[in-house]
Structures are given as C-alpha cells and as structure tokens.
C-alpha cells in the first residue's frame, strides 16, 4: 500500500478555481506549510517523457513487477483526488482535515499520485517531443488507491497528518509517501513530534518515504526522521538554465545533477528526479480549461519522493517478506553513487536504480556468523578507548557469505543501560557521548555516526563461501549519568549486488 501526502516550500498564493468554471477564481489563499515549487505546467518541455529511463525502471514496469500486490494509499494535501485521466482506482477514502470533501484545489496530490501509480490510460494532450504512444505511467502502475485528505485549504495541521498516518497503518499500508514537511534540520530529528509518528509507522512495518524539501537548507521534518527515507531532487536531462530565485539558480543542468533547491544534510538518504517531472494534473487547477487527458510538468522534491515510494512498492511486490529497514537498505545499496564516494550530505547514497533494487530484492543471499556473536568490553575507564583487535581484548567477529555474492553492511543501536543512553559522535567523546567505530582490518576505522536503521558499508561483492572479519572500537564518554553496564547491538546486513 502506498500512502501519499504532499510537500512544498517556496511560492506565492495559490488560486482556487470554481469547480463549475475552470476560468473563475473564487478566492486566493497562501498556504503556510505546503507550497509547491516552480511552475504548475509548461507548454513544452525539452524532454517531457516520464522520468524512469534514467532510473532503469522501464524494464521492470513492462515486465513482471508492477506493484500490483501492493495497493496504493493517497492522502491528498488539500482535497481528494479522483481524476479520470490518472488511471488509478480509488478503493477507499478518509478525511482527517475538515470532515468534508472538495475538488482538488492545488493539483499537487493528483500529480504526486500519478508519479507513484498512474496507469497512463489516456494519451498526453500536448504530444510535442513524445514517442508513440503518448502516455505517462507511474513507477508502480498496478493496484489501487486509498485516497484521503489530511490538509485543509489554509495548510496542514500536525493532528491531521498524524491521523492520516495512523489510518494508513490501521488499514495495512505498506508504503507511505510524504510529499510534505516544514522546518530545516541539520541531522536526524527524532525529537520532533511528527518524526516520532513516522518512526512509529516504520516500527509497525510501513516503509515511509518523505520529500527532503525545497529550501537548499537542512532536511525538513518529517523526512529527517531517522527511519524515514528522505529524498532529494536531481535533473533527469539537460533542460537549460533553471531560475528558482530567490532560493538559487542552476545556470546549467545535466542528468543526475542535484537541483540547487534540494535540501541537504546528514538526514538525506536518496535522490530521484525532481525537475520538470511529467504526471497527471487536475483540470480544476488550470487557469485555462483543459481536457481530461491533461498532464503537467512540476518541479520539487515532492516529485522526487513518489519515485522512491513507487520503487518501494515494486520491491515489496517482488519480495513481500522484506522489512522497511531491508527495503531502505536495498534502495541505498543499489543507488548510483553521486558526488564523493559513498554517502554525502548533498546526494545521500545517490540516485535510485529501480532495476537494480528489484533485482536485489529477488536475488537470494544468506550470511552467518562463524564466531560467538558476543563482545564483552568489561569495565572501561571514562575517556578511555578499547578495541577488539589482538592488541586489545582480542575478540574479532567473522561473517560468512553462505549464499552470495553479497554486499555487506553494518548498523548499530545506541549504548544504553535501559534508562541512560550514550549518543554518538564521529570524532569526540563527551558527556554521555561515545565514539563507536568498526573496521575490517583493525587498522582503518569507520565511525558509526548514526544508529539503526542507518547502515554503513562493510564490503562489496563478497563471494559465496568467503568471510570478512569485523573489529570494533569504543571510546568511552568523558562523564556519564549512569555507571551501570551499557550495551549495544550490531547487525550485519547482506544485500545482493
């Protein structure tokens, strides 16, 4: 099940059209939270075809997996979207905003829903530059939509969004897409109330995908929740100079280039197309009357997140036994790396590769520990460091790839005694703060900068029957609120290359 919310950042008033007359403005309002980025539609586009070739999902979409086993849930930003030309099928409705249903006031939800699951039933009205047939399909066009409204005409309340998330979980949603948000955070924001609700949904077994935001600033909430998949925007093609003033300007554009307004930081996970994205659109929004086959190009991380939500639906269609953490790990480990090697704050783990992700979900891998799986550091002085090498406590752990090959990752929980918890830092210990590191050789150490569900690469393409050693090093806090025994759990994750 894919649940869809709406996101935006910059922009002026939105004009609400009279549903009986597409040319009559009945009121103008400014949304305080949800404001789509960029132009609502264009007369032409340098490359208007729907944006999945760059992610490798054309093969999947026309082949075995369509997300058909994964029903889709759409919680609309401003109003319920039931628009004929999208080609999705509403199978349930809820309103957690104001108890009444209206026509779409913004078109945002219709557009985002089409990216996730549009079936391309009708041909595109403006066929300039399109191959035949002129249709736009979503990433996972199979299945139906549970459509809901979580925001009123003046914006979104936290209560409405939370109620929508809870409804999604109660109705067995498998994927939630949150193209909405607010605020800017430099790192994960699990103390934020909405982020806590997102993490709770993930704990209940739901994959949650969220837009990083359009401010060229820190990742917004709830995308900054540590268990969410925060998605930024890249270009799918050279579409010329793009002016997003006053936020930023991209004087040139090339495929897989980060869109300059895309939010960034330690909480960013993945990238997907988010500029001139073609999808279904509501005729009640257009300033001119339009046919039922209307499509539109829209810019924003609102458009990036549903690409990933659709990919998650395909992964779960291919392998329904996967947990949300495993789906996230597959998407991250199969992404095409952008920028510096490995994860970075501008691109996360890179741009999603749908073909590779679905292949990883369907390829069996298996690993096992050949050691006891337990490390006891004993009593360690404050500020002191201890490791598991031969020169330390001599307690190496070894992982074997039983069925492979496999890419190996590690993740950790925080050290806790049940009531007191030590946080993580990559270079310096402090009050109730440790430096916690891992290594494959006991020489070069990599710090855990975040706790579960964030994974860190251990090694790639490890052959079947091969083993890898894992060493750990702990630098104790300078002071602590509790001297009781603290413990943490390490998990090794295997994903098909």
| Per-residue pLDDT tens over the stretch 475-485 | 999 999 998 88
What is the pLDDT, as a whole number, of residue 476?
Answer: 93
pLDDT at 22 over 90: no
What is the pLDDT, as a whole number, of residue 216?
Answer: 92
Instruction: Specify the range with the lowest mean pLDDT, choosing from 24-28, 345-349, 372-376, 389-393.
Output: 24-28
What is the pLDDT, as a whole number, of residue 136?
Answer: 63
What is the pLDDT, as a whole number, of residue 424?
Answer: 94
Higher per-residue confidence, 131 vs 192: 192
- Give how far Cα 470 sits from Cα of 67, 160, 393, Å: 37, 45, 14
pLDDT at 486 over 70: yes
pLDDT at 2 over 60: no
Tell me the DSSP string of 302-343: HHHHHHHHHHHHHHHHH-TT--HHHHHHHHHHHSBP-SSSS-
Instruction: Specify the range with the lowest mean pLDDT, choosing from 202-211, 309-318, 467-476.
Output: 309-318
Residues pairing with 209 in the sheet: 177, 229
Q: Cβ distance 317 to 140 under 8 Å?
A: yes
pLDDT at 255 over 70: yes
Q: How confident is the model at residue 225 (pLDDT cuts 50, 70, 90)?
A: very high
Is the full-model pTM beyond 0.85?
no
By DSSP bridging, strand 207-211 and strand 219-221 are: unpaired
Percent above pLDDT 70 for the chain: 68
Percent above pLDDT 90 for the chain: 31
* Cα end-to-end span (Å), the chain: 26
What is the pLDDT, as a whole number, of residue 467?
Answer: 95
CA dihedral defined by 452, 453, 454, 460, rounded to 10 degrees?
110
Angle ∠(250,251,254) on CA atoms, nearest 5? 75
What is the pLDDT, as a whole number, of residue 57?
Answer: 33
pLDDT at 77 over 60: no
What is the pLDDT, as a whole number, of residue 99?
Answer: 41
- What single DSSP character describes residue 349? T
| pLDDT tens track for 102-111 | 444 456 777 7
What's the average model confidence in pLDDT over 455-461? Answer: 90
- What single DSSP character describes residue 86? G
What is the pLDDT, as a whole number, of residue 470?
Answer: 93
* 69 Cβ contact list (under 8 Å, min separation 6): 142, 143, 316, 317, 320
- Averaged pLDDT score across all residues of the chain: 73
Q: How confident is the model at residue 283 (pLDDT cuts 50, 70, 90)?
A: low
By DSSP bridging, strand 242-244 and strand 397-403 are: unpaired
| pLDDT tens track for 157-195 | 788 788 888 888 887 788 888 888 888 887 899 999 999
What's the average model confidence in pLDDT over 140-152? Answer: 63
What is the pLDDT, as a whole number, of residue 146?
Answer: 60
Q: How confident is the model at residue 387 (pLDDT cuts 50, 70, 90)?
A: very high
137: buried, middle or exposed (CB in 10 Å: 19+, 13-18, 0-12)?
buried
What's the average model confidence in pLDDT over 57-66? Answer: 39
Residue 323: how many CB atoms within 10 A of its CB?
A: 12
What's the average model confidence in pLDDT over 361-379? Answer: 82
CA gap 328, 411 in Å, rounded = 13
**Residue 393 backbone dihedrals phi, psi, to 5 degrees:** -90, 0
Higher per-residue confidence, 310 vs 186: 310
What is the pLDDT, as a whole number, of residue 242?
Answer: 87
Residues pairing with 492 in the sheet: 410
Q: List, in order of start, the domains of the chain with CATH numbers.
A: 2-362 (3.40.50.200), 366-495 (2.60.40)
What's the average model confidence in pLDDT over 117-145? Answer: 56
What is the pLDDT, as a whole number, of residue 107?
Answer: 67
Find the farthest-apart pair of alpha carbons in the chain and give their distance in angstroms, rounded: 79
Higher per-residue confidence, 166 vs 199: 199
What is the pLDDT, as a whole number, of residue 34?
Answer: 28
Higher per-residue confidence, 101 vs 184: 184
What is the pLDDT, as a whole number, of residue 115?
Answer: 82
What is the pLDDT, as a whole number, of residue 245?
Answer: 84
Q: Cβ distance 442 to 394 under 8 Å?
A: no
Local structure of 26: helix, strand or coil: strand
* 245 Cβ contact list (under 8 Å, min separation 6): none
What is the pLDDT, as a whole number, of residue 145?
Answer: 61
């Amino acid at each position: 099940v894919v649940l869809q919310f709406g996101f935006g950042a910059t922009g002026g008033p939105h004009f609400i059209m009279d549903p009986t007359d597409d040319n009559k403005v009945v009121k103008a309002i400014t949304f305080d939270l949800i404001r789509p980025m960029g132009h609502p539609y264009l007369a032409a586009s340098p490359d208007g075809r729907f944006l999945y070739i760059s992610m490798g999902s054309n093969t999947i979409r026309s082949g075995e997996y369509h997300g058909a086993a994964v029903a889709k849930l759409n919680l609309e930003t401003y109003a319920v979207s039931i628009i004929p030309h999208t080609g999705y099928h509403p199978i349930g409705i809820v309103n957690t905003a104001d108890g009444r249903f209206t026509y779409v006031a913004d078109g945002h939800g219709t557009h985002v829903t089409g990216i996730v699951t549009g079936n391309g039933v009708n041909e595109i009205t403006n066929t300039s530059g399109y191959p035949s047939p002129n249709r736009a399909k979503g990433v996972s066009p199979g299945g139906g939509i549970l459509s809901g409204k979580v925001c009123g005409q003046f914006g979104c309340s936290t209560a409405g969004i939370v109620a929508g998330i809870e409804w999604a979980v109660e109705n067995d949603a498998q994927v939630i897409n949150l193209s909405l948000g607010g605020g800017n955070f430099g790192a994960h924001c699990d103390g934020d109330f909405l982020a806590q609700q997102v993490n709770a949904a993930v704990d209940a077994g739901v994959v949650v995908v969220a837009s990083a935001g359009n401010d060229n600033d820190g990742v917004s909430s709830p995308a900054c929740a540590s268990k969410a998949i925060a998605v930024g925007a890249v270009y799918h093609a050279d579409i010329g100079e793009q002016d997003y003033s006053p936020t930023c300007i991209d004087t040139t554009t090339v495929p897989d280039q980060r869109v300059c307004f895309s939010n960034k930081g330690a909480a960013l996970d993945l990238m997907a197309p988010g500029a001139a994205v073609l999808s279904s659109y509501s005729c009640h929004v257009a300033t001119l009357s339009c046919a039922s086959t209307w499509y539109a190009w829209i810019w924003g991380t609102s458009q990036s997140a549903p690409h990933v939500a659709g990919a998650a639906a395909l992964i779960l269609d291919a392998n329904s036994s996967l947990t949300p953490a495993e789906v996230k790990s597959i998407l991250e480990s199969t992404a095409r790396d952008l920028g510096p090697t490995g994860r970075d704050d501008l691109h996360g783990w890179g741009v999603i590769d749908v073909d590779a992700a679905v292949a990883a979900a369907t390829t069996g891998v298996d690993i096992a520990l050949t050691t006891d799986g337990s490390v006891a550091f004993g009593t360690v002085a404050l500020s002191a460091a201890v490791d598991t090498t031969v020169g330390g406590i001599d307690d190496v752990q070894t992982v074997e790839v039983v069925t492979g090959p496999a890419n190996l990752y590690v993740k950790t929980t925080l050290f806790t005694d049940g009531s007191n918890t030590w946080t993580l830092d990559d270079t310096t210990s402090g009050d109730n703060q440790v430096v916690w590191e891992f290594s494959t050789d006991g020489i070069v150490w990599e710090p855990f900068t975040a706790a579960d569900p964030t994974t860190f690469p251990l090694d790639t393409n490890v052959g079947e029957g091969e083993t890898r050693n894992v060493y750990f090093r702990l630098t104790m806090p300078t002071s602590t609120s509790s001297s009781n025994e603290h413990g943490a759990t390490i998990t090794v994750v295997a994903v098909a290359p």
